[in-house]
Every structure is written in C-alpha cells, then in structure tokens.
C-alpha cells in the first residue's frame, strides 16, 4: 500500500473549557499506487484533520498511519510527497520563483533540474507573467495556484491536496482537474478533499464520504455509474405515504425548505409519478440530470445526523 491509515482517532481539547471535541473516529483507508482518492464531507467532518495526521502535523490518539511505507513522523516519508494545505499562506516578500525553488531544493531535487521544472509549472498554472512579483500582491486564486505548484514542483509520487479548488475561478478549477488527471496518467497517487462534488466524481477512482469524523461510505467509480440511470422528481411537499414508499423501495428522498427531491431508478419512474398523483403532491420537475455523488453525499449526511 502506498498510503495506509488504520483505525485512527483524534480528539481535541479546547483551551479554556478543556472540553473534548471528537474530530476523527475509527478512520481506516488504504490507497494503492496510481489511485486517485477523494474525500468529501460537510464542514467540520474531519477531512483536513485526517490529512494533517497523514502529513505528521498532528498525531492520532490511536491507530496507525503509513505513508510510502514510513511513519509520518519520519521526514523521509515526505520526500516524495506533495502537499497543499487548506487556504495556503506563503512568505509575503518572496516571489513565486523563489518559493518554488525552495520547495524543489528542500525536497532534494537536483539543482540543475529546478529551473526548467519551475518554468514549466508556472506556465501551466498561468503564473508566468507574475513570477517575479512578491506573493503579497497575489490574489487568493493566484496564491492557490502557487500552492499547487509548490506541492508539485518536485514531481512527487503522492500528492495530498486539501481543498485544491478553493478560491479558484472555473478556469483554475479546470486546471486543477487537468493536473490531477495528468498525475493519474503518469501513475501518481493522489488523495484530496473537496466540496466540488462534480469534479470529485469525475476524477476519483474512489470517493470517501466523511461525516462527523467517520468515513461513512467509500464509493467505487462503478457505484456511481450504476446510479446514472436515476431520475429526479421534485415535488412541493412530503407525505407519510411518500416517505414510507421511498424507504421501502430504497429511493432517496430529501426534504428542503421549498421542495422535496425524490431520486429513483428510471424503471420506477411511472410508479413514482402515479404515487405522487395519488398523494396529490404538485410535481415541479422531472429530470435525469442527477448528480449521483451529490445525492449519495446528502443521503449519507442525513443518515449520519439522524
């Protein structure tokens, strides 16, 4: 295993009240070489905490972590790893070239390869024209791009990205997607967490749904493909009979403030519509543009919360 996390748990204690806050509980995960794994979850689910434990910034209360066969506390475990923290912040008075040069040299990259690699990445991240500017003058999106370059400059075998799309415009987001797909093509391994479910769905070989510190579901790409023939019916309200039928037939049902969404397989569409008619609920729309990961994500969160 390139990356293995076994039964880790982490509890934080607040400074003044000494109250214990559970961040991660019994989290296990194994990632093979060349695999792209995405973690999705609501805010405060513990995604970043898992990545920080993996990088050795914090220690789990219990459980084991192995990064490229080494303990995260061993600096050599990070030699072939690239990491992008959430909302990265770099040295204000350095320019992008200096920052990336530091990243490359600190990672043990041979000095003669550094310049060409920096130029290549800055071009890819469209930061070439700003490469001599101090980082304090960069926008949030530019910092994010510089952070991605910082993580990738030494051509690592494993890439760990915490919210890589954060603060990026659609072009920037596409760039990140392309970069990750390129990593996959070159047999690199990536673990990242993101809130942009459509991209996670598109890029990842497997996706983990994390809620309240636990990894609730791990979805294979095939799990998501199986649900691509689903249809979504949006109605104005929920009735007890509708809820019972959904539970019985394993259809997903989500109640939101203004409407109720029912997701069911395409072959159950007529049955579902008949039921809606019988229950006299108003059908607002019917479509098959279902974001399957989104549905699973929402369902998992709801289940965990209840």
Partner 1 sequence: MNRRIWSLAVITFKEGIRDRTLYGIGLFALMIMGLSLVVTGFFLRELHKVTVDINISAITFGGLLMIFSLSVNLMSKDLDKRTIYSVLSKPFSRTQYLIGKFFGLVLLSLAAVCMLTLISTLTIWAVKSQYPIYFKEFVWLAVFQAVFAEFLMFIVLNAVVIFFSTVTTSSFLTLLFTISTYIVGQTVEEVVQFIQRQAPEIQLTTAVQTVIKITQYVVPNLSVYDLKVRAAHGLSISCSYLLSITCYSLIYSAVILLFASIVFSRRELT
Task: State the nearest-atom distance from the C-beta of 141 to partner 1, in Å.
Answer: 17
106 binds partner 1 (CB under 8 A): yes
167 binds partner 1 (CB under 8 A): no
* Distance, CA of 114 to CA of 102 (rounded, Å): 10
Residues 6+ apart with CB under 8 A from 10: 22, 23, 24, 46, 49, 53, 58, 60, 61, 213
* Distance, CA of 77 to CA of 67 (rounded, Å): 6
296 binds partner 1 (CB under 8 A): no
- Looking at the Cβ atoms of 45 and 301, the one nearer to partner 1 is 45
Could you say which of 2, 35, 52, 191 contacts partner 1 (CB under 8 A)?
52
147 binds partner 1 (CB under 8 A): yes
Nearest to 272 by CA among 293, 296, 243, 292: 243
Mark out the alpha helices in 107-188 (DSSP H runs): 111-124, 140-152, 170-185
- Which residue has tokens 């699973």? 296
Task: State the nearest-atom distance from the C-beta of 215 to partner 1, in Å.
Answer: 21
Task: State the nearest-atom distance from the C-beta of 261 to partner 1, in Å.
Answer: 37
238 binds partner 1 (CB under 8 A): no
Could you say which of 75, 112, 222, 305 contacts partner 1 (CB under 8 A)?
75
Q: Order the strands of the 214-220 sheet from edge to edge.
A: 81-84, 158-162, 189-193, 36-40, 206-211, 214-220
Choose the binding region for partner 1 from 99-107, 185-193, 204-212, 293-301 (rule: CB under 8 A): 99-107
- Looking at the Cβ atoms of 52 and 245, the one nearer to partner 1 is 52
* Distance, CA of 256 to CA of 144 (rounded, Å): 33
Residues counted in the chain: 306
Task: State the nearest-atom distance from the C-beta of 91 to partner 1, in Å.
Answer: 4
The long-range contacts involving 120-129, CB below 8 angstroms and separated by at least 24 positions, are: 121/149, 121/152, 121/153, 122/96, 122/97, 122/149, 124/149, 124/175, 124/179, 125/149, 125/175, 126/171, 126/175, 127/96
Alpha-carbon dihedral of residues 231, 233, 234, 237, nearest 10 degrees?
-140
On whether the CB atoms of residues 298 and 195 are closer than 8 A, the answer is: no
- Looking at the Cβ atoms of 57 and 187, the one nearer to partner 1 is 57
108 binds partner 1 (CB under 8 A): yes
57 binds partner 1 (CB under 8 A): yes
Task: State the nearest-atom distance from the C-beta of 48 to partner 1, in Å.
Answer: 10
133 binds partner 1 (CB under 8 A): no
On whether the CB atoms of residues 140 and 172 are closer than 8 A, the answer is: no
121 binds partner 1 (CB under 8 A): no
Choose the binding region for partner 1 from 85-93, 171-179, 184-192, 293-301 (rule: CB under 8 A): 85-93
- Looking at the Cβ atoms of 87 and 229, the one nearer to partner 1 is 87
Could you say which of 4, 107, 238, 291 contacts partner 1 (CB under 8 A)?
107
83 binds partner 1 (CB under 8 A): yes
- Looking at the Cβ atoms of 99 and 193, the one nearer to partner 1 is 99
Q: How many residues bind partner 1 (CB under 8 A)?
A: 38
Positions touching partner 1 (CB under 8 A) are 12, 52, 55-59, 75-79, 81-83, 85, 87-94, 98-99, 101-103, 105-108, 134, 147, 150-151, 160
């Amino acid at each position: 295993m390139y990356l293995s996390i076994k039964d880790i748990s982490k509890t934080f204690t607040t400074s003044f009240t000494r109250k214990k806050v559970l961040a991660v509980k019994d989290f296990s995960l194994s990632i093979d070489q060349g695999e792209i794994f995405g973690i999705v979850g609501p805010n405060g689910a513990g995604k970043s905490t898992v990545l920080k434990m993996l990088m050795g910034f914090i220690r789990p209360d219990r459980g084991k972590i192995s990064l490229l066969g080494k303990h995260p506390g061993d600096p050599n475990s990070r030699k072939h790893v690239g990491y992008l923290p959430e909302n990265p912040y770099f040295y204000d008075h350095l320019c992008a070239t200096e920052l990336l040069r530091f990243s490359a040299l600190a990672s043990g990259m041979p000095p003669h390869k550094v310049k060409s690699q920096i130029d290549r990445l800055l071009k890819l991240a469209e930061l070439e024209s700003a490469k001599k500017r101090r980082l304090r003058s960069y926008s949030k999106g530019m910092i994010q791009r510089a952070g991605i370059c910082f993580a990738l400059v030494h051509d690592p075998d494993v890439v760990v990205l915490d919210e890589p799309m954060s603060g990026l415009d659609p072009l920037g987001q596409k760039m990140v997607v392309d970069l990750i797909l390129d990593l996959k093509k070159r047999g690199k391994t990536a673990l990242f967490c993101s809130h942009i479910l459509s991209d996670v769905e598109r890029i990842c070989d497997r996706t983990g749904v994390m809620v309240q510190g636990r990894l609730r579901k791990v979805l294979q790409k095939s799990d998501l493909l199986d649900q691509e023939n689903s249809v979504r019916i949006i109605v104005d309200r929920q009735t007890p009979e509708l809820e019972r039928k959904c539970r019985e037939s394993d259809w997903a049902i989500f109640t939101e403030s203004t409407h109720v969404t029912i997701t069911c397989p395409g072959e159950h569409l007529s049955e579902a519509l008949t039921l809606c008619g019988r229950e006299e609920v108003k059908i607002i729309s019917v479509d098959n543009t279902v974001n399957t990961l989104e549905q699973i994500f929402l369902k998992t969160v709801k289940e965990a919360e209840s």
